[in-house]
Amino acid sequence: MATASDAIWAVDLGNNSLKALHMVAVGDAVQVIGFDHIPHGKLLSSSGVSAAEKDELIAITLRQFVQRNDVSYDPLIVSVPSQNSFARFVTLPPVEQKRLPEIVKFEAAQQIPFDMSEVQWDYQMMTEADSPEQKVGIFAIKNEIVEAEMEHFEREDLLVSYVQMAPMALYNYMLYDRPELVRSDNRATVIVNVGAESTDLVVCTNSAVWQRCIMMGGNTFTQAIAETCKLNFAKAEKLKRTAPVSKYARQIFQAMRPVFTDWAGEVQRSLGFYTNSNPDVKLARVIAMGGGTKLRGLLKYLQQTLQIPVEKPDAFKKLAIAQGLSTAKFHENVADFGVVYGLGLQGLGLARIESNLLPTSAARSMAWANKTKYFIGAAVMLLVVSLMCLGRVGLDRVAYARNEAKRSAAKRVVNRAEETREIKSDFLNQETELQEKMKAEFEVFRYRDVVPQLYELILSAMPNARNNPAQAALYEAYVRGDVARVKEVPRDQRKQIFVTNVAIFFSDDLATAQFGQTAMMRKDAVMRESQMAVGVEEDYEMLAQLAEIYGDRYAGLTGMTSEEEKDPGFVVSVVGYSPYRDLMALLDPTGVESRPDQWGLVTRLAHLDEFVDANSPFELYSNEADHFRIEKGAVNLDEDIPIGIGDSEYIPEESGTRTTGGSRMPTMMSYNQGLEILVDPVTRERIDAEPETDLYGNPKRDALGKPILTVRDSWFQLDFKLKWEHAPEIPQTTGLAGRR
């Protein structure tokens, strides 16, 4: 955690420019006593800029910053980009305050998707110490990201005291400067920070923050202009910035239109994911920040897409400007100063999130630098003591001659110490023990090829040139994108299966494993990792508390495990769709056991010993209802269908009709662009069901009043279990009760 300072320099080193604020706390107020905005000689992310040239451009910018500002006295806080960063909020079990660091470290190891030695991480308590529910924020970023950022400052002899992720700095800015927008956990404000290479989405509530990085920014629009107008990147960037007053404004905006659509669509999909994950939270407002917001029409288009008010701040409400500074120049760059504003608040001790991702080596160097004056004082004292000791030299030489007996005794002690050290060295050099340790370390890699082997097995059982030689030309044409050759075969006669998702999970007991409960099926593996992470052999009381809080996740640690014989293997779920008129003929045809040329996907899986290899380690577990199921239906946008089927297109409303009696609601994009349909990603043929109409254009209905549909493609979800003959033995563990 960081310690508050009276004044702070906050620096954001972006792809387009360096932004810096020199802030000071004056009572309860915050004041800017200096600021700077230095564009790089070139855009760092533009094409043609090598890594060496990028480092040189950054070095030149930092030198200008040092020459124009006095940065030698106050601490420096810098930001790191959101790419490869991690932020997660978890609720801890109720334990004693002194044990919180230990619990947080355990949770961090579980939550952070990287090896702990590869990241810099910190945490922040988000609730009061006496609160019954203790919520903690865990923040991490890869070491190479932080080290690359620190290297730029170290080359210019700039001592960095704090490192923070840019999205967390924006969250600190929002809570301090606009608290009225984040008073509740049920109404969120979204910060859209549009940079050169990426766009950061930061959803802010009173006690939590959610971030996502979209790899589209101002450079994406520039690249679209460059490709359309056949220009290099630099000229396209200049044309983009002068578009509103250019005589080619219409052509420029026409070139950027697809990027507007894709960018707004990505923002909408990301926020849709957040609202689906947090149904109780309503998105109330969007705050637009970053240099990319200067692009004309961008925010208006975003507001039309999201149907949420979008605001671009032209000033900070709680930040005062010191006398002598150019207010007009400061307000001109307000949209770029959001990150450094939040960084400065953290350095002054006024931020909610105070995590510091400064590398340990840099923090140690900074601590030693602060102790220089003490070393100087110690050196002076050492010199005085040395001079005093010189007076003792003569006396000591006389005493040395009279202490031969003591020296002999000391020598004997040293000899015994040497013998002891040799015994210890022999013990540490035991080759057998080291070999066993190495074997244990490499044991975890023994089964790393099993899941890829399963994927290959499932795909080989699909319709292909080997399984359906009659349509081999169709499969080859589809692979090489020959649409005309593919369309020669009527769509409902193409024996094709398009897979949109495959999920594979291991279970040590297929008899009790259930579909859709993969987290519970991996309970034993999680328990073993948890035992190693928290040191179960030394701390049974802690695991008992975790078992009481988390329930089944730690239930195996509190009692004896069953010793009944189990069938280990994999629970597999395959989701996809097919244009073939008889879907079940491709999946699980009946009465074809003796005709391999007519087998379907399930039939081949049931005959792996004939289809793949007589020594195949896998076997279909059972075709009973508890262990095998097939769900299917027509690809109909008015019903719930699996995600990932086809590509969405929009046609004018008069080109077709669709009932709205299903669960699918029209999206904002469908209102803006017409009727949404699904098409084949390669042939662009329509694949979703369409209501039949009479001569007057009215939908036909059956005797029950339901629309009569023209069905094209069909979707399916196939769930089954594969027994694994060579599965490793799951060790039987004794719970805490057996160890006490």
SS (H, E, C) 282-341: EEEEEEEECHHHHCCCHHHHHHHHHCCCEECCCCCCCEEECCCCCHHHHHHCHHHCHHHH
pLDDT confidence of residue 239: 81
Q: CA 91, CA 105: separation in Å to the nearest integer?
A: 13
Q: How confident is residue 46, by pLDDT bands cut at 50, 70 and 90?
A: confident
C-alpha 366/C-alpha 406 separation (Å) is 46
Tokens read off for 187: 């109404």
Would you say the C-alpha torsion 688, 689, 694, 696 has a positive or negative sign? negative
Closest to 166 measured CA to CA, from 189, 147, 145: 145
Find out whether 192 and 288 touch, Cβ atoms under 8 Å.
Answer: yes
Which stretches of 136-294 are DSSP H helices? Answer: 143-155, 166-177, 218-229, 233-241, 249-277
Rounded-to-integer distance, Cα 588 and Cα 11, Å:
62
H helix intervals, 535-632: 540-550, 583-587, 601-606, 608-611
Judgement on whether residues 625 and 646 belong to the same structural domain of the protein: no
Spell out the residues 6+ positions from residue 550 whose beta carbon is closer than 8 angstroms to its own: 93
Q: Residue 8 pairs with which residues in a beta bridge? A: 23
Instruction: Give the residue, 186 or 549, on which the prediction is more confident.
Output: 186
pLDDT of residue 365: 60
Mean pLDDT score, 608-632: 85
pLDDT above 70 (res 680): yes
161 backbone φψ class: left, alpha, beta (φ>0; ψ -120 to 50): alpha
The whole-angstrom separation of Cα 273 and Cα 586 is: 34
Q: Is the pLDDT of residue 564 over 70?
A: no
pLDDT confidence band for 521 (50 / 70 / 90): very low
- Provide the pLDDT confidence category of residue 363 given band limits of 50, 70 and 90: low
What's the mean per-residue pLDDT of the chain?
Answer: 82
323 in the same domain as 310: no
Higher local confidence (pLDDT), 577 or 738: 577
Are residues 54 and 151 in contact, defined by beta-carbon separation less than 8 angstroms? no
> Is 646:689 a contact under the CB 8 Å cutoff?
no
Q: Could you tell me if 229 and 338 lie in one domain?
A: no
Q: Distance between CA atoms of 183 and 131, rounded to whole angstroms? A: 18
> How many CA atoms lie within 13 Å of 87's alpha carbon, on the beta-carbon side?
27
CA dist., res. 12 & res. 80, Å (int) = 8
Q: What is the pLDDT of residue 266?
A: 92
What are the pLDDT digits (tens) for 62-117? 999 999 998 888 889 998 888 777 888 888 887 777 888 888 888 888 888 888 88
Of 316, 333, 350, which one is at a domain's C-terminal end? 316
Q: Indicate if the pLDDT at residue 522 is higher than 50.
A: no
In this structure, are 187 and 220 located in the same domain?
Answer: yes
Q: How far apart are CA 340 and CA 404, in angstroms?
A: 70
Q: At residue 735, does pLDDT exceed 70?
A: no
Query: Is the pLDDT reported for residue 683 higher than 70?
Result: yes
Quick one: angle between helices 540-550 and 523-534, nearest 10?
A: 140
- Same domain membership, residue 295 and residue 346: no
Lowest mean per-residue pLDDT among 378-392, 636-650, 708-722: 378-392
Whether residue 252 sits in one domain with residue 158: no
Q: Which residues constitute the domain of residue 140? A: 1-177+318-365
Whether pLDDT at 443 is above 50: yes
The pair of three-digit structure tokens given for residue 220, joined into one six-digit string: 């994406």
| Least confident segment among 215-219, 441-445, 461-465, 519-523 | 519-523
Half-sphere exposure of 260 (CA within 13 A, CB side): 20
Residue 355 lies inside a defined structural domain of this protein: yes
Instruction: Say which range, 94-103, 125-134, 163-172, 234-243, has the weakest mean pLDDT.
Output: 125-134
208 and 265, same domain (yes or no): yes
DSSP strands (E only) in 492-585 = 498-507, 569-578
Across-strand partners of 193? Answer: 200, 289
Residues contacting 325, CB < 8 A, separation 6+: 32, 33, 34, 35
Compute the average pLDDT of residues 293-312.
89
CA distance 570 to 618: 9
Angle at 295 between CA 40 and CA 315, to 5 degrees: 80
Asked if the model's pLDDT at residue 499 lies above 80, the reply is yes
Which has the closest alpha carbon to 612: 404, 460, 464? 460
Question: What confidence tier does 197 reach under pLDDT thresholds 50, 70, 90?
Answer: confident
Q: In the beta sheet, which residues pair with residue 18? A: 13, 38
Tell me how far apart the alpha carbons of residues 88 and 226 are, in angstroms, rounded to a whole number. Answer: 39
Does residue 433 sit within a domain?
no
Per DSSP, 160 falls in state -
Lowest mean per-residue pLDDT among 4-13, 265-274, 325-334, 653-662: 653-662
Q: Of 621, 617, 575, 651, which is closest to residue 721 (Cα–Cα)?
A: 621
User: Counting beta carbons within 10 angstroms of the beta carbon of residue 481, is it exposed (0 to 12), middle (13 to 18) or buried (19 or more)?
Assistant: exposed
User: Is position 158 within any domain?
Assistant: yes
| Spatial distance between the Cα atoms of 233 and 732, rounded to a whole number of angstroms | 63
Cβ atoms of 265 and 199 closer than 8 Å: no
Which SS3 state, helix, strand or coil, does residue 34 take?
strand
pLDDT of residue 693 exceeding 90: no
Question: In this model, does residue 534 exceed pLDDT 60?
Answer: no
Mean pLDDT of 651-674: 54
Local structure of residue 643 (DSSP, 8 states): T
| pLDDT at res. 427 | 77
Give the chain's domain count.
5
Given this model, what pLDDT does residue 537 score?
45
Q: Are residues 135 and 188 in the same domain?
A: no
Measured distance CA(553)–CA(545) in Å, rounded: 12
Cα–chain center distance at 622: 37
Residues 172, 178: Cα–Cα separation, whole Å: 10
- pLDDT attached to residue 540: 52
> Which of 515, 491, 447, 476 shows the shortest CA–CA distance to 729?
447
Res. 331: pLDDT tops 90: no
Residue 42 sits in the same domain as residue 75: yes
- For 438, other C-beta atoms within 10 Å of its C-beta total 10
- 3-state secondary structure (DSSP) of residue 563: coil
Sign of CA dihedral 586, 591, 596, 601: positive
Q: Which helix (H) or strand (E) holds 399?
A: helix 372-401
522 and 626 part of one domain: yes
Mean pLDDT is highest, among 76-90, 170-184, 411-425, for: 170-184
Banded model confidence at residue 220, pLDDT cuts 50, 70, 90: confident
Q: What is the pLDDT of residues 569-614, one digit of tens each?
A: 999 999 999 999 999 999 999 988 889 889 999 999 988 888 877 6
Joined together, the tokens standing for residue 247 give 């005589």
Same-domain pairing of 197 and 327: no
Calpha distance 454→448 (Å, rounded): 11
403 token code pair: 């202490």
Which structure tokens are listed for 361? 């080596």
In a domain? residue 339: yes
382 in any annotated domain: yes
CA-CA distance, 582 to 493, in Å (whole number)?
A: 9
Which of 108-117, 370-379, 420-429 shows the lowest per-residue confidence on average (mean pLDDT)?
370-379
Question: Is residue 730 classed as helix, strand or coil in its secondary structure?
Answer: coil
Question: Is a pLDDT exceeding 70 seen at residue 731?
Answer: no
Is 176 within 8 Å of 351 (Cβ atoms)?
yes
Asked whether residue 93 is assigned to any structural domain, the reply reads: yes
In-domain check, residue 185: yes
pTM above 0.75, yes or no: no
CA angle, 609 then 612 then 616, to 5°: 55
| pLDDT computed for residue 491 by the predictor | 93
Q: Does position 529 have pLDDT exceeding 50, yes or no?
A: no
pLDDT tens column, 199-216: 999 999 988 899 999 998
Same domain flag for 85 and 140:
yes
The whole-angstrom distance between residue 472's C-alpha and the CA centroid of its chain comes to 40
Gap between the Cα atoms of 636 and 661, Å rounded: 12
Tokens of 721: 């279990």
- Segment 466-474 mean pLDDT: 92
The SS3 of residue 392 is helix
DSSP-derived letter for residue 579 is -
Per the domain annotation, does 687 fall within a domain? yes
